[in-house]
Chains A and B, each alone.
Chain A
Amino acid sequence: MKRLSTIIFICFWFVVNQAWSAEDWYMKSSGQLLVKNYSSNSQLENLFGFGVFLNGDYLERGGFSIGYNFNQTNYKSGLISGLKENNENILFLSGRANFNPDQIPGRLTLRLDGYVGDDATSFRVTVPTPGPMGGGSSQKTITVDNEFSVVSPMVSFLNYAKTFYADLGYAYSSYRSDDSGTDDINVTQWTPTLGFGFNQAYDWLQLRGYFIDLSTSNRVGTKETTSALEVKWTHWFSADAPLMNLHNIRLTVITGERLYAVDSDACSLCNVPDLQTGLVSIGAEWKLNEQTNVLLQGGYESYEDMLLDEQYSSTYLYGYLSRNW
């Protein structure tokens, strides 16, 4: 809570220290849907999620983003553990400020993201009911709550020619559980990133390393560190593009291991306590007009449940619609 107050204070300070003009604000609203299906997992069935975001940029000087995400994970029916579903709420708040120092040929951006959220895992349990004939039993749903917060500052650089990008991101995540049998966990993450533009700005290649340290917790077994490499390639099309005037296509590959990762591009948390061991996704974006964009993405992920010693995978579909105002 203290961290959130700090974030809000910094954002407030940034806002009141500018001479704002309403017509110089560039606003964008967006919504997203996520449908995920798990396979080879003895417990997880599927996931449904949606989110809404509002972005505001004051000219090129800086901006803010606020967002809300809801995810519902459904478990297989009839599990001995009684697991039923998990409902997760995530509030996202971000502020950024741009600088153009004369000493370097590009733009520096300082960004601070904050996430706060909770999730509730519900179990269906059978409880004995007392009675004159020895009693019986009835089913009851109990929930276990988790709370989490993430603070993630980042410094980035993009050169004016838009051929080179670099950033260094840091994230500190803290997960707390109401269940006394589940340990709390703190996670620190460093994400150095390099990006390269080529083919006359028609192509962009981005490499991001994830270096994650985990505190000791029974959530993750003996795992203390993970590292992964994310490679993203985006290709933009010119005006006569195929497939209903496609604007761009993108391919993402993650290799290595990630746990409790914070994705600063997607502004999302990967907070399933299972080890992500790979990801491949492809996406296509259409610019419907000057204001409206649509993105469709499909992907395959592989995971390892370290507590059950089980490897499983998921396939997902993701849709994103944005509009500039």
Chain B
Amino acid sequence: MLIKILVFITGFLISVVAWSAADPWTESYRLEALTQYDSAAKSIATVIKDNPKNEFAILRHGWLNYLRGAHNESIRDYQKALDLNSNSLDARLGLMLPLIAQQRWREVASHANKVLKVAPWNYYAHVRLMISEEGEKKWDTLANHAKKVSQRYPSDATVLVYLARANDWLKNDKSARGAYEKVLERIPGHIEATQYLSR
């Protein structure tokens, strides 16, 4: 009887270990945590190979490709996810990341505006739209935009940084200073705000 129990437990343990080693999801999260994005992406690629329409696997592959600097592959993945599910805000928000890396500001703005059509105060879409406005040096637009978003997310420091930068470029020193002071209240020691205020 004891032998039978030992054989059963051993068999169970072997199967658990074998299953976990083969599970590409677990493996991809583990490798991502180790910043081994290339291997993590390869792990998820096996899932996509088995099921080319696995939307989440494609999204995750896009994210891992973005992390490993394969921006064009990342764009293709997110676009594929968007083709599978055109309502996906995740895919559109994700797609903006490699586009930002490639400084394709108009494309970023185009996707951000599409998100904002259905989710008018989506935080990530607004921040990524602000990044594109900064990239295109649309300082008036950025200042007005950041001010409106800051009213919706008053505790957020990132939006205040964009508000401060736009006002700095526009030479509205008082407004820039006020925004950077608020940044320091939210993130004491914030490098950019500290440098500006110590001028």
Q: Contacting A239 at CB < 8 Å: which of B69, B73, B103, B169? A: B169
Stretch in A100-108, A191-199, A275-283 with 4+ CB within 8 Å of B: A100-108
A residues 84-128 touching B (CB-CB < 8 Å):
100-102, 107
A20 interfacial contact with B, CB 8 Å: no
Q: Contacting A290 at CB < 8 Å: which of B73, B103, B138? A: B138
B residues 161-199 touching A (CB-CB < 8 Å):
169-171
Q: How far is the CA of A239 from the CA of B169 in the complex (A)?
A: 6
A12 interfacial contact with B, CB 8 Å: no
Interface size class of B (residues with CB under 8 A): 10 to 19
- Complex interface: chain B residues within 8 A of A178 (CB): none
How would residues 127 to 171 of chain B score, 1 for a CB under 8 Å from any chain A CB and 0 otherwise? 000000000001111000000000000000000000000000111
Q: Contacting A60 at CB < 8 Å: which of B69, B73, B104? A: B104
Q: Cβ of B171 and Cβ of A60 under 8 Å apart?
A: no
B102 interfacial contact with A, CB 8 Å: yes
Q: How far is the CA of A300 from the CA of B22 in the complex (A)?
A: 74
Q: Cβ of B138 and Cβ of A107 under 8 Å apart?
A: no
How would residues 157 to 185 of chain A score, 1 for a CB under 8 Å from any chain B CB and 0 otherwise? 00010000000000000000000000000
Q: Cβ of B72 and Cβ of A100 under 8 Å apart?
A: yes
A309 interfacial contact with B, CB 8 Å: no
B106 interfacial contact with A, CB 8 Å: yes
Q: Cβ of A239 and Cβ of B171 under 8 Å apart?
A: yes
How would residues 81 to 107 of chain B score, 1 for a CB under 8 Å from any chain A CB and 0 otherwise? 000000000000000000000111111
Q: Cβ of A290 and Cβ of B104 under 8 Å apart?
A: no
Closest A residue, CB atoms, query B141: A290
- Complex interface: chain A residues within 8 A of B140 (CB): 290
Q: Cβ of B72 and Cβ of A60 under 8 Å apart?
A: no
Q: How far is the CA of A185 from the CA of B140 in the complex (A)?
A: 52
Q: Cβ of B102 and Cβ of A100 under 8 Å apart?
A: yes
Closest B residue, CB atoms, query A57: B106
* A: number of interface residues (CB 8 Å): 17
B164 vs chain A, min Cβ distance (A): 14
Known A100-B72, A101-B72; judge A238-B169 contact (CB<8 A): yes
- Complex interface: chain A residues within 8 A of B107 (CB): 24, 59-61
Q: Cβ of A102 and Cβ of B103 under 8 Å apart?
A: no
Closest A residue, CB atoms, query B65: A102
Closest A residue, CB atoms, query B139: A239
- Complex interface: chain A residues within 8 A of B169 (CB): 238-239
Interface of B is mostly: helix
Q: Cβ of B104 and Cβ of A26 under 8 Å apart?
A: no
B136 vs chain A, min Cβ distance (A): 10
Q: Cβ of A59 and Cβ of B141 under 8 Å apart?
A: no
Q: Contacting A59 at CB < 8 Å: which of B71, B72, B104? A: B104
A299 vs chain B, min Cβ distance (A): 28
A8 vs chain B, min Cβ distance (A): 26
Q: Contacting B103 at CB < 8 Å: which of A23, A24, A160, A240? A: A160
B70 interfacial contact with A, CB 8 Å: yes
Known A59-B110, A239-B169; judge A102-B141 contact (CB<8 A): no
- Complex interface: chain B residues within 8 A of A102 (CB): 69-73
- Complex interface: chain A residues within 8 A of B141 (CB): 290
Q: How far is the CA of A100 from the CA of B75 in the complex (A)?
A: 11
- Complex interface: chain B residues within 8 A of A59 (CB): 104, 106-107, 110
A70 vs chain B, min Cβ distance (A): 33
B196 vs chain A, min Cβ distance (A): 14
B52 vs chain A, min Cβ distance (A): 21
Q: How far is the CA of A43 from the CA of B73 in the complex (A)?
A: 62
- Complex interface: chain B residues within 8 A of A100 (CB): 71-72, 102, 104
Q: How far is the CA of A22 from the CA of B187 in the complex (A)?
A: 42
- Complex interface: chain B residues within 8 A of A240 (CB): 171
* A/B interface sample: 12 pairs, CB < 8 A: A24-B110, A57-B106, A59-B106, A59-B110, A60-B105, A100-B104, A102-B69, A102-B70, A102-B71, A238-B171, A239-B171, A290-B138
Further contacts, 5 of them, CB under 8 A, given A21-B110, A100-B71, A102-B72 = A59-B104, A60-B105, A102-B69, A160-B102, A238-B171
Residues on A facing B (Cβ under 8 Å): 21, 23-24, 26, 57, 59-61, 100-102, 107, 160, 238-240, 290
What are the 6 closest A-B residue pairs judged by CB atoms, nearest first?
A100-B102, A60-B104, A239-B171, A59-B106, A240-B171, A59-B107
